[in-house]
């Protein structure tokens, strides 16, 4: 009988010792045969979680407006790469393309690239973007050509593996995953790597509070590659995700299954595992690499500044009462202060400080 991912993980720990939380996340999400994203479409009502573009077309339309504005401000380059990282079902990109149809020259100039690791979602993207001739990459280094790049990523960074550290008795330790006496997966303490500790923000190093500090080497490397790319080719990157504006302590690792929280060790590979994004960290890496950083602002502020309410009113004017109700409830879900509107943050990076994106003045 083929081994389950749980057995594979336990086998690996028994053979070479406890693994980091990042290794655990990586295996659960990306194992080639059993990884969560490799085996299913997790989105929507029948899946495990839902996202802003899946809730309302207004979200993708506003991102489309944002991109068209930047493209015009960039002098309407005749060629550019429209890159989406972690495009899910392709809904956001399809809405962006629909919303920009009337922007003269935009479609002709755009070459769509999708960074995706899931074969199941690649199929869905290919269906959603039929006619737009996208190409897929597994790594940002694989992007073709030297044209400016406009990158968007919604709920992508939260899927990148994090490592967790905690101070015990005045000393930092890393949280690991091991196999307990009854054969179950459990957390353990591991020695902490000095280089990683050195890179912690000062406020965290000196903190006397107890709690986990989370850092993602994969995310840091990814942001650095984006900065190098934008410095070389020009363009902008837009990141939207749930997370915090200031680096802080707290365990944000979470598992989701069928729209409910699950245990981190519940059937590995069958739950989504994510962590909150530390936007202060992204801003610091951006500024350190000489990028202009805009935000973070809340998703609500961003969408409002781009005119989401006006657009919703326009859609409602042409809709029947049931459709209008749906449009308004979608708007509320993606922009409510009590929900996604404030939990989600938006941050943009540009290599050219003169290129000022919309949405960050609120
Ligand atoms: N942006 C979409 C989907 C978010 S779910 C939406 O808003 O609806 C996360 C997406 O990131 C999925 O498409 C998943 O397959 C992809 N993903 C996660 N980790 C990835 C990685 N390391 N490389 C490429 N894609 C990844």
Nearest CA to ligand 1 atom 5: 88
Residues of the chain with pLDDT under 70: 1, 362
Helical spans, DSSP H, in 74-176: 91-99, 106-109, 119-128
For residue 345, give both structure tokens: 């943050």
The CA-based angle 286-65-54, given to 5 degrees, is: 85
Q: Is 272 touching ligand 1 by the criterion CB < 6 Å?
A: no
Please give the Cα distance from 240 to 226 (Å, whole number).
Answer: 15
pLDDT value, residue 169: 87
Mean pLDDT of the chain: 96
Phi, then psi, of 255 in degrees rounded to 5: -115, 140
330 Cα–ligand 1 center, Å? 22
| Contact 159 CB / ligand 1 (< 6 Å) | yes
CA of 64 to the centre of ligand 1 (A): 19
User: Probe ligand 1: pick from 113, 140, 159, 242, max atoms within 8 Å of CB?
Assistant: 159
User: Which helix (H) or strand (E) segment is 315 a member of?
Assistant: helix 308-317
How far away, in angstroms, is 205 Cα from ligand 1 center? 31
Ligand 1 centroid to 315 CA: how many Å? 29
pLDDT confidence of residue 45 = 81
Atom of ligand 1 nearest to the CA of 52: 7
CA of 17 to the centre of ligand 1 (A): 29
Give the closest residue to 29 by CA, choosing from 13, 9, 46, 44.
9
Model pLDDT, residue 11: 96
Quick one: CA torsion of 122, 128, 130, 133, rounded to 10 degrees?
A: -50
Q: What is the pLDDT of residues 122-174, one digit of tens each?
A: 999 999 999 999 999 999 999 999 999 999 999 999 999 999 999 998 899 99
* Separation between Cα atoms, residue 139 and residue 9, nearest integer Å: 25
DSSP-derived letter for residue 141 is G
């Amino acid at each position: 009988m083929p081994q389950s991912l749980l057995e594979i993980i336990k086998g690996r720990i028994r053979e070479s010792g406890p693994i980091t939380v990042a290794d655990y996340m990586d295996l659960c999400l990306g194992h080639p045969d059993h990884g969560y994203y490799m085996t299913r479409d997790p989105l929507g009502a029948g899946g495990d979680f839902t996202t802003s573009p899946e809730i309302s077309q207004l979200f993708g339309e506003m991102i489309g407006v944002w991109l068209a504005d930047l493209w015009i401000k960039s002098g309407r380059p005749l060629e550019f790469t429209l890159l989406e990282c972690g495009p899910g079902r392709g809904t956001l990109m399809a809405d962006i393309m629909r919303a920009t149809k009337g922007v003269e020259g935009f479609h002709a100039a755009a070459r769509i690239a999708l960074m995706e690791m899931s074969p199941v979602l690649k199929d869905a993207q290919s269906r959603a973007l039929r006619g737009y001739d996208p190409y897929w990459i597994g790594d940002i280094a694989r992007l073709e050509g030297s044209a400016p790049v406009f990158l968007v990523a919604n709920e992508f960074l939260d899927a990148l593996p994090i490592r967790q550290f905690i101070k015990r008795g005045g000393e930092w330790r890393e949280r690991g995953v091991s196999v307990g006496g009854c054969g179950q997966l459990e957390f353990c303490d591991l020695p902490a790597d000095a280089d990683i500790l050195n890179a912690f923000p000062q406020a965290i190093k000196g903190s006397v509070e107890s709690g986990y500090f989370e850092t993602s080497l994969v995310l840091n490397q990814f942001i650095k590659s984006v900065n190098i790319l934008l410095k070389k080719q020009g363009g902008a990157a837009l990141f939207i995700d749930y997370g915090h504006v200031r680096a802080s302590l707290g365990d944000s690792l979470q598992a989701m299954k069928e729209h409910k929280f699950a245990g981190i060790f519940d059937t590995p590979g069958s739950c989504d595992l994510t962590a909150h994004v530390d936007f202060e960290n992204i801003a610091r890496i951006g500024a350190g690499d000489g990028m202009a950083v805009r935000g973070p602002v809340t998703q609500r502020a961003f969408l409002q500044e781009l005119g989401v309410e006006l657009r919703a009113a326009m859609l409602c004017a042409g809709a029947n009462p049931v459709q209008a109700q749906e449009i308004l409830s979608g708007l509320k879900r993606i922009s409510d202060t009590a929900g996604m509107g404030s939990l989600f943050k938006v941050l943009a990076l540009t290599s050219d400080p003169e290129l000022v994106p919309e949405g960050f003045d609120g």
